[in-house]
Chain A
Amino acid sequence: MTLVAILVPLVALCVVARGVGFLLLTGVVTALAMLLDGLTPLQEAGASLALLFAVAPPVFLTRYQHDATHERSGTAVPFFALGLMVLLLLGCGRAGSTLFPAGLCAMVAGLVTVVCRQSMVWQWAGLLTCIEGVLLSAVLGRQPVVLGVAALAGVVVVLLGGMCIHRIMPRVVAAHSPARQSRRTKPATGGKDT
């Protein structure tokens, strides 16, 4: 357990409060927390997966316009996440675990994001924060099977989330030929209606 591992839930709270911009930072801090714990193959694999899931979505999102969904959820959401984290800590303390469950706290923050935020990109970021948390927890708890399953879930979420975003959100790219551009945006408007 290092200080960096304690930073992970705090950065995850920033994802709850501000959105996908903090996902990259979460990934970097998670990878650092894994690597500072030791340099076995399990930790290296976990760190590279955490970095991959944190770097790929923001890079992918630069090709699309800013998500302008109007958020109706209030300012209380991060505090809700914080409250759930405290509850989790109390529960783990009662169960006799002296270790700070950093990964699971990050997972709780991600869950709150998924449930309480309306914009799809934000929910995507929340789900990926969840996966970062589970990855960290699996690496710190030395459970390679859970790490593998979380990695699989992460790949699925990244791919399918990217596919849905590609079909819903408008592109940034300047129009090379107007005809192709209009054809490409047609299914996107259809996707918005549902």
Chain B
Amino acid sequence: MSVATQATVFLAALAFVWPFVGAIGVAAVPAPRSREVALWMAGLGCLLSVVVFMFPAMGGNASGWDDDPVQRAGRVMLAFGLLLLVLENGVMPDRLLRSLPHVCTALAGLACVAPEPAVGLGILEVALAWGVFVFTRPAGQAKTGWGLMRTGSVGTMLVLSGLLLPQGSTVCGLMMACGLVILTGLAPFGQFWRDENDSFLFLPFAGASILLAMRLRGHGGMAFEMALVAAGLVSVWLTACAGRSRDRQRLFRTFPSALALMAVGVEADVAALLFLCGWCLAGGNRSTRGWAVNVLACFPPGAPFVGCLLLLSVMTDWSWSVAVLTVCGILAAVLRAVPDREAARLFWPEDMAGRVACSVLTVMGFLVPLAMMLGAF
């Protein structure tokens, strides 16, 4: 094994371990300094994931760890999502809570690369358990924690039983699609998102579920893909129907993940990656901010806008009628559901986190299609 190969293997391993190191470091230092340490750790994690994407370790397939370029790029998105989570939150006194996003991102990254999708599901279940344990430690949270645990476990069980059925059968595809929709927390189907803190756990968790969906496609077959597209379409149209009312903003928050699931269904993996980028950097509880609204509604420039174009170009080959329905759904959702027009008009945000997010999204929107044209995916 040459030195270069050894170096790439070492870097790939380091990129997996790094968020865990970050979690330990953040939990170990005293609270006032923790934010600074977390920023450094998350920033270095982003750098590492980008380096691993550009110089992949060869021979990974031989050892059973599945690693294709799309999954590697997905881990870059997850790493940037972690950086943004750290940037926009202040100093947190609770040790476990402030290390939680690092742990969840690390487990999500491991879940995407596990040798079998079932193992990935197990890792996601561990992430869910740890997150629920950390959230529900304060008094009065037990019932909320049980709700999260119950919904997540139901999703895992559905996907697992789909994996047990014969490959490519209708029942198998439907079961796996239902499970994945619940794991992603797609708005009318999943019941995640009850608390502000939830985004620490569920941004990486839902991102990893989307990446896992790409790998389950081989087992699910046609019914799986059609069910994913149908679920995404229903979610997009329901977002459009729900309109602008306050209590229905939950639907608008998961707009990019609905589009990402549709992209997975029509095998437009690069479009799914771009939506994943939008989800990691603008999803969750950020939907009240102007720049995040812009990103969620797929306004240009930004990764989700490019993702929309890619998705529609692939979808017209898949089915014309579904493509027309999707375009109408997206337009209706943008016209009817985008909240607070005044805030959304502001392009360059004033806070640091928003600026980082906007620049990363714009750069990704240019770089990912460029990498696709150069043959990286």
Q: Report the Cα distance A88→B161, complex, angstroms.
A: 12
A1 neighbours in B (Cβ, 8 Å) = none
When chains A and B are docked, how far (Å) is the Cα of A191 from the Cα of B140?
Answer: 4
Cβ of B150 < 8 Å from any Cβ of A?
yes
In the complex, chain B residues whose CB is within 8 Å of the CB of A92: 165, 169, 171
Is B139 in contact with A149, judged by CB distance below 8 angstroms? no
CB atoms of A153 and B122 under 8 A apart: yes
B164 partner residues in chain A, CB cutoff 8 A: 103-104, 134, 137-138, 141, 143, 146
Is B8 engaged at the interface, CB distance under 8 Å to the other chain?
no
- For residue A86, CB closer than 8 A to chain B, the reply is no
Contact with B along A159-194 (1 / 0, CB 8 A): 111011001100000000000000000110011111
Contacts of B150 in A (CB 8 A): 114, 123, 127
Minimum CB–CB distance from A89 to chain B (whole Å) comes to: 10
Chain A, 79-109, contact with B by CB distance < 8 Å: what is the 0/1 string? 0000000001001101111000101100100
Is the Cβ of A91 less than 8 Å from the Cβ of B149? no
- Total interface residues on A, using CB and 8 Å? 49
Mostly, the A contact residues are helix
Assess whether B143 is in contact with A145, with CB atoms less than 8 Å apart: no
Q: Out of A94, A146, A159, which one reaches B160, CB within 8 Å?
A: A146
Q: List 14 other contacts, CB 8 Å, given A141-B164, A163-B142.
A: A91-B169, A92-B169, A104-B165, A130-B157, A143-B163, A149-B122, A152-B122, A153-B160, A156-B129, A156-B149, A157-B153, A164-B143, A164-B149, A194-B141
Neighbouring B residues of A192 by C-beta, 8 Å: 143
Q: Which of B121, B157, B166 contacts A97 (CB 8 A)?
A: B166
Q: A94-B170, A127-B150, A137-B161 are in contact. Are A164 and B122 (CB under 8 A)?
A: no
Q: Which B152-195 residues have a C-beta within 8 angstroms of A?
A: 153-154, 156-158, 160-161, 163-166, 169-172
In chain B, what residue has the closest Cβ to A115?
Answer: B154
> Is the pair A88, B157 in contact by a Cβ cutoff of 8 Å?
no
Q: A111-B154, A153-B153, A194-B143 are in contact. Are A160 and B129 (CB under 8 A)?
A: yes
Q: Which residue of B lies closest to A96 (CB)?
A: B166
Q: Which of A103, A114, A127, A191 contacts B139 (CB 8 A)?
A: A191
Min CB gap B113→A, angstroms: 15
Say whether, besides A97-B166, A127-B150, A164 and B118 are in contact (CB < 8 Å).
Answer: no
Q: A91-B171, A103-B164 are in contact. Are A145 and B118 (CB under 8 A)?
A: yes
**B146 surroundings in chain A (CB, below 8 A):** 120, 123, 160-161, 164
Chain A residues within 8 Å of B149, by CB: 156-157, 160-161, 164
Q: Which residues of B contact A190 (CB under 8 A)?
A: 139-140
Asked if B362 is an interface residue, CB under 8 A from chain A, the answer is: no
Chain B residues positioned under 8 Å from A194 (CB to CB): 140-144
Residue contact A146 to B163, C-beta cutoff 8 Å: yes
Q: List 8 A-B contacts (CB under 8 A).
A: A92-B165, A111-B154, A141-B164, A143-B164, A153-B125, A187-B140, A190-B140, A194-B143
The verdict on A156 contacting B142 (CB below 8 Å), with A134-B161, A137-B161 known, is no
